[in-house]
Amino acid sequence: MIEDWVQGHSLDWEDLDCRVNRLMEVHKRSKVWSMIDDNPFGSDSIDDICSAGWEIHYKEFRRTMGIVMPKLKSILFKNNLNGYVRDVTLFHELVHVHYGMRGDYLYDAGSEFYSGNGLNVYENGQIVEWIARKSRANPEMLGYVIEKFGFEPQIYDRASFLAFNGLIDFEKQLSFPFQSEEYPNDIPLFMDRTFEEFEEDF
């Protein structure tokens, strides 16, 4: 679940990365780290989620952008999200589902402040957002997820450009400098680092 104030979604990448690395030190005995290491979030996760019958349904939310409903196998998704916010919200909710299917939804909201993994809802939210942003920064993963769930490809940064170049009708979307082959290759992401900087983390 993401809300506009929540600890993960509202942070820039450097702050989020710093906080999660700090959590790894402070809560190094938490079982959440071995669960993440043993079950990395990837394209196989998306196949498993789809095979299990999970669906996305749209809802008019005021502050919330997405909610996972395990009993219904449903992700409630805010209407009219676009670009980076839409895609990172989708990844965020899919990360919840992926680890929920393995025993811990890493809930970042609810009546219980502390979850069974020894972390509180804010810390869970930071971890989920951290995984979601790293995964979204992978052009192949971004392209696979958007295609799998039938979302419209949208270009807003270098990762999305690499994922969807050739699929976008640029007459229907704002032009970006990196459409040009002459444009430098070190184009920054909107909020995250470039995928090349993430590769060693995968």
Query: Can you give the pLDDT of all 202 residues of the chain as single tens digits?
Result: 444 334 456 788 889 999 999 999 999 999 999 999 999 999 999 999 999 999 999 999 888 899 999 999 999 999 989 899 999 999 999 999 999 999 998 988 765 666 678 898 889 999 999 999 999 999 999 999 999 999 999 888 889 988 988 776 656 555 555 554 444 444 444 445 444 444 444 3
Note the Cα 45 to chain centre separation in Å: 13
| Alpha-carbon span 73 to 49, nearest angstrom | 9
DSSP state of 142: H
| Alpha-carbon span 53 to 164, nearest angstrom | 26
Answer whether 158's CB lies under 8 Å from 188's CB.
Answer: yes
Domain boundaries, the chain: 2-151
* 3-state class (DSSP) for residue 183: coil
Q: Is the pTM of this model over 0.85?
A: no
Angstrom CA distances, 71 to 54, 97, 121, 191, 194, stand at 10, 11, 20, 33, 36
Residue 64: the pLDDT is: 85
Residue 117: the pLDDT is: 81
β-sheet bridge partners, residue 55: 74
Residue 187 makes CB contacts below 8 A (sequence gap 6+) with 157, 158, 161, 177, 178, 194
Measured from the Cβ of residue 81, the count of other Cβ atoms closer than 10 Å reads 18
DSSP assignments along 20-63, one per residue: HHHHHHHTTT-THHHHHHHS--SHHHHHHHHHTT-EEEEE--SS
Closest CA to 126 of 36, 18, 35: 18
Phi and psi of 64, rounded to 5°? -70, 140
How many residues in total does the chain contain?
202
